[in-house]
Structure 1
Amino acid sequence: GPCQRMAPVFESLSSKYTQAVFLKVDIDQCQEIAAAHGVSAVPTFVFFRAKAKLTTLRGADPATLEAKIQELLSSEPPEGATSEKVHGHVDMSTFLDRSAQECLNESDDHPLAGCLSSGDGYLESDCDEQLIISLGFTQPVKLHSIKFQAPSALGPKTVKLFINQPRTLGFDQAVGMEAVQTLTLTGKDVEEGAVVPLRFVKFQNVQNLQIFVKDNQTGTETTRINYLVIYGSPINTTNMGEFKRVAGKKGESH
């Protein structure tokens, strides 16, 4: 049928346009998602940007589908919509494994969870300025860039990044080991929440990321991070389990 004809086309387009995320949805298995987006016949292609639905395309026409993808990728999002986006990549918070995250030297009053969302909370170190943040992902991912938002005096300065460690590093290990990448942030970087690019080729198959904050901007006793954002994309963009989470809770609309 039409879906079988379009399957290899969809696959090749997902390889060609890597700046977009392609997801397949089985509408028999995911009836709520299908109903929420008005999908009654297949194949139907629904396009989103920044969780907002842009348009819908129906029918098995490869040329029309590719033209629509090109049109949407070339059109700039409205002004203001780009502040939290990195072109072609997504905020990886959706793919964080909440059961596989840990922070060493976090304060009891201001633990790791405080910096993983954009609210009023924040992460603060406890007995000195150093932190080790360990974040596991629910599936292998590619990481593109990272953002630390913090007060300019208290924010991280020297940050060492490690990937795919079997367990959370200790501070002595983190000091002595060679990092996959070391970042040197400025007060302006952390105050403005600058998006800092990673060496993309080094972060292609990441199961977990460990972030060692060695020191802070002004040598204050504790380090603070208001908001930590990691940008990237899942390696397997057709993982149905993840799509359900991306789609939000039952009854939630985007």
Structure 2
Amino acid sequence: MTLVRIMYSASDVETLLTNKSSSLVIIDFSAEWCGPSRNITPFFGQLSQQYNVEAMPTFVLIKNHIVVATVVGANREALLAAIQSHAPPAPPACNEGSAKDVPILVKLMSPFTNPSIVKVSLLEYLDSTQLNCLNESDTHNIKGILGNKILNTGNSYLESDSDEQLLLNLHFNQAIRIRSIVIHTADASYAPKAIKLAINRPALGFEDVESATEPEMAQIIEALSPDDIANSRRISLKYVRFKSVRSLHIFVASNQGDEEETRINAVDIYGQPVETTNMAHFRATEE
């Protein structure tokens, strides 16, 4: 189990370290250094000097206000080994208080950024074990574009099978807030046109969505812009309906060129993680 928290100031981090002294806190020093990210430099500078951070990404593991380990670079194996070495033993069962001392991952954000509009890709929170798509082609399936939990930039694509419709079922290992999505198709005529979005449905079939309307569907988009699809532009959603999402279901009803097949080269989801227990990690612990 892991809790995720987004912080905007050094004082927030210090308060967390004081209140959760018995927990293992992992501070993620990483950033996308685009033009607007210059605002974050003073914040990172203050903390990075305090913890001797000289490269990004750097993960600093702290317990009882003491740095117990530092992992430099995107080394998943080294980070996992460090967490396992310093995290408290897993609780025997999921009961009240069992999440008291679970590791806490702190993601640092610029203090000049409004928390309500922070948008990051949420693909890393996909539960790949539950990733599936109805009416997908055997040779061009959803695993090819989302199985690695990163934006697909290769030649793989998802393609429908018997007709133009698709039903993508995306489950997440913790609750997320979604503000926008990206759907990209290289060939415009095969790109999705009309879509319906549903959330938090344990099981969903075509019969559940074909005639469904809002609010049963979280949002219906009658005609996606071909330019948005071709240029991977973000499609804004009705944020109030996507504030606590455990699963997102994307029903593609038609495509731009009335083709027999629909294709999708890439999907991305933008928003924020909700501070909660990572259930995928919990299931692994229980097993």
For this structure pair, what is the TM-score category when the shorter chain's length is used for normalisation?
0.5 to 0.7
| 2:252 alignment counterpart | 213
| 1:118 alignment counterpart | 153
Distance (Å, rounded) in 1 between the aligned partners of 2:22 and 2:30: 18
- Alignment deviations for residues 30-68 of structure 1 (CA, whole Å, 9 cap, x no partner): 8xx7xxxxxxxxxxx6642139996414289xxxxxxx9
Select which of 166, 174, 180 maps to 1:131. Answer: 166
Distance (Å, rounded) in 2 between the aligned partners of 1:224 and 1:180: 23
Residues 1:49 and 2:44 are matched in the alignment: no
Distance (Å, rounded) in 1 between the aligned partners of 2:163 and 2:279: 42
Residue 114 of structure 1 contacts residue 226 of structure 1 at CA under 8 Å; is this kept in 2? no
Select which of 135, 155, 179 maps to 2:191. Answer: 155
- Alignment deviations for residues 94-125 of structure 1 (CA, whole Å, 9 cap, x no partner): 00001111100000110002222222211010
Residue 131 of structure 2 contacts residue 143 of structure 2 at CA under 8 Å; is this kept in 1? no
Unaligned runs of 5+ in 2: 1-8, 35-40, 52-64, 66-108, 147-151, 282-287
Give the superposition deviation at 1:204.
0.5
Distance (Å, rounded) in 1 between the aligned partners of 2:32 and 2:277: 18
Q: CA RMSD in A?
A: 3.7
Residues 1:182 and 2:196 are matched in the alignment: no
Residue 174 of structure 2 contacts residue 277 of structure 2 at CA under 8 Å; is this kept in 1? no
Q: Name the % identity.
A: 34
- Alignment deviations for residues 161-209 of structure 1 (CA, whole Å, 9 cap, x no partner): 0001121x21121112221101220221211111101111100011101
Query: What SS class does the counterpart of residue 176 from structure 1 fall into?
Result: coil
Distance 1:224 1:241, change over 3 A: closer
Map residues 239-254 of structure 1 onto 2, 5 A cutoff: none
| 1:198 alignment counterpart | 237
| 1:89 alignment counterpart | 119
Distance (Å, rounded) in 2 between the aligned partners of 1:104 and 1:217: 20
Residue 177 of structure 2 contacts residue 274 of structure 2 at CA under 8 Å; is this kept in 1? yes
Bigger CA drift: 113-122 or 197-206? 113-122
Residue 175 of structure 2 contacts residue 276 of structure 2 at CA under 8 Å; is this kept in 1? no
Select which of 114, 131, 137 maps to 1:107. Answer: 137
Distance 1:12 1:171, change over 3 A: farther
Residue 173 of structure 2 contacts residue 280 of structure 2 at CA under 8 Å; is this kept in 1? no
Distance (Å, rounded) in 2 between the aligned partners of 1:240 and 1:99: 12
Residue 25 of structure 1 contacts residue 240 of structure 1 at CA under 8 Å; is this kept in 2? no
Residue 156 of structure 1 contacts residue 216 of structure 1 at CA under 8 Å; is this kept in 2? yes
Distance (Å, rounded) in 2 between the aligned partners of 1:25 and 1:238: 16
Residues 1:58 and 2:50 are matched in the alignment: yes
Amino acid at match of 1:152: A
Residue 136 of structure 1 contacts residue 207 of structure 1 at CA under 8 Å; is this kept in 2? yes
| 1:82 alignment counterpart | none
Distance (Å, rounded) in 2 between the aligned partners of 1:228 and 1:208: 15
Distance 1:160 1:13, change over 3 A: farther
Amino acid at match of 1:99: T
Residue 186 of structure 1 contacts residue 217 of structure 1 at CA under 8 Å; is this kept in 2? no
Distance 1:238 1:51, change over 3 A: farther
| 2:69 alignment counterpart | none
Matched residues, number: 193
Distance (Å, rounded) in 2 between the aligned partners of 1:190 and 1:58: 44
Amino acid at match of 1:135: L
Give the superposition deviation at 1:89.
1.5
Give the superposition deviation at 1:70.
3.2
Query: What SS class does the counterpart of residue 49 from structure 1 fall into?
Result: coil
Distance (Å, rounded) in 2 between the aligned partners of 1:170 and 1:107: 17
Select which of 111, 114, 126 maps to 1:70. Answer: 111
Amino acid at match of 2:172: F
Give the superposition deviation at 1:238.
8.6
Unaligned runs of 5+ in 1: 1-6, 15-23, 34-44, 61-67, 75-86, 243-254
Amino acid at match of 1:10: D
